[in-house]
Structure 1
Amino acid sequence: MRTIMLAVASVALLAGTAFADEQAIKLKPGAGLDKVEGNCAACHTLAYIPMNSVYLNKAGWTAEVTKMIKAYGAPIDDADANAIVEYLSKNYGS
């Protein structure tokens, strides 16, 4: 029993350390930022946005948002999807 308790405590400690290392991402202000934060951050870190911005133009961001909706089932309506693409291409397009 003591071994199990020690193992559980170790896992909890390691998990807490992993989360503590994650940096808060502050995206550029602009129209549509609220849609990005509200929809995209529900499933993944916003760190992917600046990370991928060197590769994606408007067509690329459109493809990414479409993939999130169609392939991964993100519940984003058309109006929000358009606002997200506009925000990303304007602020993080290559």
Structure 2
Amino acid sequence: MRKLIWLGLMAISVVCFSGEESIRLKDGPGKELVMNSCATCHSLDYIQMNSVFMNKKQWEATVNKMVKTFKAPVDEKDIPAIVEYLTNFYGVRQ
């Protein structure tokens, strides 16, 4: 029974994370921090999908919501660097 459960979990992991290796964020300061922080909870394609809508204030609100409301495992001291990267490379200029 344990083997069956283990195989099922492995199959789910493959389906959930397949194709993630093809998501490539733009190079720049903070990229590794964003990859390591954001991908623990969701696909990195969310960053690219939301980039057409988000300015600095919106990225800041989103990152804070992820950390404070959804309890994303991100050190609060890293929030400014994450917001800076997202704003610089995936932010809407206004």
- TM-score (norm: length of structure 2): 0.76
Cα offset, 1:70, TM superposition: 1.1
Larger radius of gyration: 1
Q: 1:72 aligns with which of 32, 46, 70?
A: 70
Of all paired residues, the percent bearing the same amino acid is 45
What's the counterpart of residue 19 of structure 2? 22
Report how many aligned residue pairs link the two structures: 85
- The 1:16/1:93 distance shift into structure 2, 3 A limit, reads closer
Q: Which moved more, 1:58-67 or 1:70-79?
A: 70-79
8 Å CA contact retained: 2:67, 2:76: no
Which 5+ residue runs of structure 1 have no aligned equivalent?
1-10
Relative to 1, partners in 2 of residues 1:90 and 1:21: Cα closer, same or farther, differing over 3 Å? same
Could you tell me which residue of structure 2 aligns to residue 39 of structure 1?
37
Distance 2:85 2:17 in 1: 29
1:80 positional shift = 1.1
Structure 1 stretch 48-57 or stretch 18-27: which is displaced more? Answer: 18-27
Displacement of 1:65 after TM fit? 0.2
Structure 1 partner of 2:85:
87
Question: Structure 2: which amino acid aligns with 1:80?
Answer: D
**Residue 77 of structure 1, CA deviation:** 1.7
Structure 2 unaligned residues grouped into runs of 5+ = 1-7
Shift in CA distance, 92/16, structure 1 to aligned 2, threshold 3 Å: closer
Match of 2:4 in 1: none
TM-score (norm 1): 0.76
CA distance in structure 1 between the partners assigned to 2:36 and 2:85 by the alignment: 13
